[in-house]
Amino acid sequence: MDPYDRTVRDLRISITDRCNFRCTYCMPHEGMQWLPREDLLTFEELTRVARVCVERFGFESIRITGGEPTVRAHLPVLVRRLADLGVELAMTTNGATLDHLAADLARAGLQRINISCDSLRPDRFAAITGRPALDQVLAGVDAALAAGLSPVKLNCVMVRGVNDDEILDFAAYGRDRGVEIRFIEWMPLDGDQAWSSEQVVPAEEIVAAIDAEWPLQAPDGRGARDAAPAETYSYADGRGRLGVIASVTRPFCGSCDRIRLTAEGQLRNCLFSVRECDLRALMRGGAADDELASAIAAEVGRKWAGHSIGQVHFIRPARSMSQIGG
């Protein structure tokens, strides 16, 4: 029996492949070719796909991603259109310009936000991202909190020998600021294809390090998770929560409930998919909503039972993370 549950409720929409950082873990440092503006889905096209997913299939949440979504002009306009669909609306950003945008995005209907930050040390942050912008990112965290976005989560990709000595620093920052830290195992989606299993910091190791300093609680003794990717732990002293995403060491493919739409309209049924469905061609070719819904349903039906990272038959996607969307 195929163990994969093909019930999907979460749509990840990438609205641009461009970024104002050159992050080691999601795009190549050299040779990046940006999409021409006319190749990107318009706000009307993005909203149409989202509407079909919500009305025809009962999707419950939408997340705006990139690239870096805040480099797309008039972002609050898109947020308002998606918020009007009546689903939970979130965004993943590097936070570099969030101090100027957070209030407008919240007023437009954004509810939740994840901010990517892989180091709390200015020199290391600059080495990872290509920009000395840590202060701007942390100001963005504060702006998101002040705007009432909730929860505010900080995504941190842990890499052995790079930033694994900051586990407790991130945990302390989250406890002090009321931010939920999400520790993420490094996946083979980096633009320079430098990923190696030896540099993966297992979620189990991260949890053990934090638990030794600040005891943790989890409802099931291991980590609470249904279809969400993160195993969530609470601090025993009541000072917040943290999550770990064990994509490599404890894959959760069987309960994944999300699909992804790239900035140029390619529907992907898995982050590690090696095929795509061209929704842009359908829409620009005059397809009706019924045709669009049929194409989405067919692609969801092709969801496979696991990414097979670490196995001999694993196939690495041709796209890097920045081209797929988080």
pLDDT at res. 294: 98
Predicted TM-score (pTM) of the model is 0.88
Adjacent-strand bridge partners of 103: none
pLDDT for position 5: 53
Q: pLDDT digit of tens for each residue in the chain (326 aa)?
A: 344 456 889 999 999 988 877 776 665 555 567 789 999 999 999 999 999 999 999 999 999 998 899 999 999 999 999 999 999 999 999 999 999 999 999 999 999 999 999 999 999 999 999 999 999 999 999 999 999 999 999 999 999 999 999 999 999 999 999 999 999 998 765 555 665 778 899 999 999 999 999 999 985 544 444 567 889 999 999 999 999 998 888 876 666 788 999 999 999 988 767 789 999 999 999 999 999 999 999 999 887 665 545 444 445 555 555 566 65
List Cα–Cα distances, 113 to 5, 102, 173, 278, 317, in angstroms: 27, 10, 17, 28, 26
| Topology of the domain comprising 10-324 | TIM Barrel (3.20.20)
Give the single-character DSSP code of 109. Answer: T
pLDDT in the model for residue 284? 98
Going from the C-alpha of 222 to that of each of 57, 157, 276, the distances in angstroms are: 32, 21, 35
CB burial of residue 91 (10 Å; 0-12, 13-18, 19+): buried
Rounded CA-CA distance 66/324 in Å is 8
Give me the residue spans of the domains in the chain. 10-324
Find out whether 153 and 91 touch, Cβ atoms under 8 Å.
no
